[in-house]
């Protein structure tokens, strides 16, 4: 027997009493079918309601398209049997979040369609956000200006607090008499249409099975967070209602903290950040020049040491140079080496080994670094070994001295 959908007539109904019509185990969970239900089953891009059935948590709700049964999937097993009367209660905060988001999606889609002829080709509702795939005429991507205009127009619809009505049409033909923005090709039989505003000039009119508030004012706020190209369309990431407000509060706190850091007003923050980027780029360039000059001097000193050395394995320690700097220096020296060389970066607890090819630098790391809890690798001429402390790195070098003398 098809379950009566109480949420269709009253989306604000939070509790109900119903009769169990069937019980089954499926997918490792107990599932209960009822003669009537306040729980919205997953569909139309909207997640299922959650809540409680006789005190046991309902974690998911699904509708059997063939029988019309709505199955309430329980977190754990309970003592349910056909004919039993039960009490159900939905998680109202979750439901209202979904109502705000779903209605917000209708409003935004309606404004894009009215302003720019853009069609909603896909809709997904996440835990606290939505994505809508928007297809503009001739496959053009949406511009920032279009997105901002539609966003403002959508919030104006919210401020007008227009009525939101659910119209029940017995068939597709009745639905098509309404000023529909969109009616899916596969819709047959009974059709639910969401009408926002009046029928003569609606803010939106679209077939939809989801739950919605009674007025647009209940949506609260619509915010477009991101736009990206997706399969020839523009995918918008959106928040509405409570989640949009929380997002704005988060961004406001972040912007206020940055404005305080830069000692400027919020309106000046973007320009101040650009100025800061220019200064940082100058600092990075100066730092790179200094590092290059230091590296050149260290390389000259190392070449002099090698030229006056014994021609056998030698090791050198550097307090501030990074492992990357030392590896770059070793790479420039490797073809002129007559014996292996170890360069220790105390800062990174890393030893860079350079070799003329014999012995194999990579094998030296592979054979001995693990003795001191080190790891790494490389090729015949250049390898590096990374340790947890500079003391372990020095022990590794001492081991190499024993092996290579």
Q: How far is CA 232 from CA 122, 140, 145, 277, 350, in A?
A: 13, 8, 19, 34, 48
| Cα dihedral 114, 163, 105, 2 sign | negative
Asked whether 195 and 164 are in contact (CB, 8 A), the reply is yes
Residue with tokens 């009215």: 114
Query: How far apart are alpha carbons 314 and 153 in whole angstroms?
Result: 73
Q: For 306-404, CATH number?
A: 3.10.310.40
State the CATH architecture for 4-90.
Beta Barrel (2.40)
Which structure tokens are listed for 35? Answer: 């003669």
Residues 73, 75, 78, CA angle at the centre, nearest 5°? 85
**What is the separation, in whole angstroms, between the first and last Cα of the chain?**
88
State the CATH architecture for 96-257.
2-Layer Sandwich (3.30)
Asked whether 211 and 46 are in contact (CB, 8 A), the reply is yes
Q: Is the pLDDT of residue 182 over 90?
A: no
Query: How far apart are alpha carbons 105 and 125 in whole angstroms?
Result: 9
- Per DSSP, what are the bridge partners of residue 60? 73
Mean pLDDT of 103-110: 96
- What ranges do the domains of the chain cover? 4-90, 96-257, 306-404
Q: Note the pLDDT tens digit of each residue in 122-179.
A: 999 999 999 999 999 888 899 999 999 999 999 999 999 999 999 888 777 877 788 8
Mean pLDDT of 189-213: 89
Q: φ and ψ at 37, to 5 degrees?
A: -150, 145
Reply yes or no: is the peptide bond before residue 359 cis, omega within 30 of 0: yes
Q: Is the pLDDT of residue 184 over 80?
A: no
Q: Please state the pTM of the whole predicted model.
A: 0.74
Q: What is the pLDDT of residue 316?
A: 93
Q: Note the pLDDT tens digit of each residue in 326-344.
A: 999 999 988 888 899 999 9
Residues 200, 204, 209, CA angle at the centre, nearest 5°? 120
At residue 111 the predicted structure's pLDDT band, cuts being 50, 70 and 90, is very high
Question: 306-404: same fold as 96-257?
Answer: no
Query: How far apart are alpha carbons 13 and 145 in whole angstroms?
Result: 40
């Amino acid at each position: 027997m098809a379950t009566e959908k109480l949420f269709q007539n009253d989306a604000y109904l939070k509790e109900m009493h119903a009769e169990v019509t069937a019980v089954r185990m499926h997918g490792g969970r107990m599932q209960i079918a009822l003669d009537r239900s306040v729980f919205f089953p997953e569909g139309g891009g909207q997640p299922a309601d959650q809540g409680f059935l006789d005190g046991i948590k309902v974690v998911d709700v699904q509708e059997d398209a063939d029988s019309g049964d709505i199955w309430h999937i329980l977190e754990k097993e309970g003592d349910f049997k056909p004919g039993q009367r039960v009490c159900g209660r939905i998680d109202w905060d979750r439901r209202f979040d979904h109502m705000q988001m779903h209605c917000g999606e209708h409003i935004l889609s309606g404004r894009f369609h009215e302003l720019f002829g853009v069609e909603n080709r896909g809709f997904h509702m996440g835990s606290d956000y939505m994505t809508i795939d928007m297809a503009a005429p001739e496959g053009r991507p949406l511009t920032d200006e279009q997105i901002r205009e539609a966003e403002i127009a959508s919030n104006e619809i919210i401020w007008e607090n227009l009525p939101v009505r659910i119209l029940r049409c017995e068939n597709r033909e009745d639905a098509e008499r309404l000023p529909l923005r969109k009616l899916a090709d596969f819709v047959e039989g009974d059709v639910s249409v969401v009408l926002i505003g009046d029928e003569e000039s609606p803010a939106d009119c679209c077939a939809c099975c989801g739950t919605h508030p009674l007025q647009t004012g209940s949506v609260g706020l619509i915010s477009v967070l991101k736009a990206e190209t997706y399969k020839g369309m523009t995918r918008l990431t959106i928040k509405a209602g409570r989640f949009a407000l929380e997002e704005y509060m988060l961004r406001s706190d972040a912007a206020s903290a940055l404005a305080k850091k830069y000692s400027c007003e919020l309106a000046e923050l973007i320009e101040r950040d650009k100025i800061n980027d220019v200064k940082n780029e100058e600092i990075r360039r100066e730092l790179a020049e200094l590092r290059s000059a230091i590296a050149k001097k260290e390389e000259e000193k190392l070449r002099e040491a090698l030229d006056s050395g014994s021609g056998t394995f030698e090791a050198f320690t550097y307090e501030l140079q990074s492992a990357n700097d030392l590896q770059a220096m070793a790479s420039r020296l490797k073809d002129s080496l007559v014996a292996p060389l170890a360069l220790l970066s105390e800062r990174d607890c890393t030893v860079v080994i350079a070799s003329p090819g014999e012995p194999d630098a990579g094998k030296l790391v592979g054979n001995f670094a693990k003795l001191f809890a080190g790891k790494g690798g490389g090729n015949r001429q250049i390898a590096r070994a990374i340790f947890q402390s500079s003391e372990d790195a020095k022990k590794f070098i001492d081991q190499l001295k024993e092996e290579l003398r």
